[in-house]
Structure 1
Amino acid sequence: MDKMVAGSLKAKNCVILQCKICHTVLGDSLQFCGNSSTLNLLMCLRVTENVELDPTTLIGCEGPLSECLYKSLYCSFCRANVGIVPLSTTELLSHLRGLYCLDKSALHCYKLQSNSEVEAAAVNLQPQSLTQHIGELKRQLVVAHCRLMAAVKKLDELAGEESGLGISILDLEHGREPEVYYLGCEV
C-alpha cells in the first residue's frame, strides 16, 4: 500500500514550505488545502512541530482581519511571525477558521522536482479536489480488496491441503454451513 501512495505522488506537485529567514521546514504541499489571495496566505491542515502557536489571542482592529480573533504562528527557531490561526472570523473569512494560515511573504518554497527554492508568491499550488481524493481512496480500496481475496483463497487452499477437507474460510466467517468435501467427494 505504501508503494502505491508514494507512487501516486508527483514530484512536480511537491513543495516544502520553509521559513524565509532561517529555512526551517514549516509544512509541505501535502497538507496544503487552499490559498487566500486577498490575505496573501497559504492554508494548511497541518504544519510541522517547528511552528509554534502563540497562546495569546489577538483581535484584528483594521484591514481584512478586523473583527476577527486569531492566534499568531511563529517559527520555533528564529521566532519570525509566519502566519495565523483564525478562531473567530467574519462570514467572509469563515473558510479560514481553524486552519494554519501561513503568510506567503514569510515563506520560501523548495520545489522537489527542480531542487530549487522560490518565493511562495511565485508558486501556484492547487489543492486536490474532494472528487480526486475519493477516487484515489476507491482505487486503493479495490486493490486492497483484491489482495485480501487472493490471500483468503490461498489460505483456503492451504487449509484444504492440510486437513484433507475442502472447507472455505469465507463460509465459516459468514456463518454459512460449510460444504465439506473429502478427497473431492461431497460428504
Structure 2
Amino acid sequence: MGLPFLLLLLLVAASCSGKSNLEGPSDNILALQWPINACQVNCWNAPGCKYKYWTIHGWWPPQGGNRTNETFELNKIKDLLNQMKNDWPDLSNRNTFWAHEWEAHGQCAKNKLTVKQYFQRALGHYSAVKRCINVQPEKAKACFENLENVVKKCAIIKKNNLITEVRLYLK
C-alpha cells in the first residue's frame, strides 16, 4: 500500500466521526441524534440538550436532478413547530438549523418537495421508528435494526467515544 492510499483511508475514517459523505445519492437516511451526547461533544447548551431520547438530526432523501428554488421560511412550517421543537430540536441554538437541513437535503431531493412536505415526511419517518427512541445509545442499534419493515441497515456514529448519532437507512 502506498502513502496516498493510506492517507485516503485516514480521510475516510475521519469523515465518519462527523457528517459523512460516504452515503450515496440514492440512499434514504434518517439521522437521529442523542442530544445529551451530541451537545457534550459539540459544547452546545440549547434547551433540547437535556432530552433523553433520540431526536431527528436530519432526513437525507435520495438526491438528484435540479435543486428546487423554494427558500426556507419558518412560517411555511408554523403548524409543525411544536412537534419540531420536541422531535427535531435545534441543538446548536443558532436558529438556522432547519434552514440548513432544507437547503442541504430538501432542496436537492430527487422527488421534488416543498419545504412543508420535506419536514412532514421527515417527521413521518421519525414516527415509524418511535418504538426505539427511548433506547439508550448502547442498545439502539439492535432496536433500530429490528424494525425490519422500515430500516434496511443502521450505522452508529461516535464522536469522542460517545455515541452521538444513529443513521437509519430506510427502505
Q: Which has the higher strand share?
A: 1
Larger proportion of helix: 2
TM-score class normalised by the smaller sequence: under 0.3
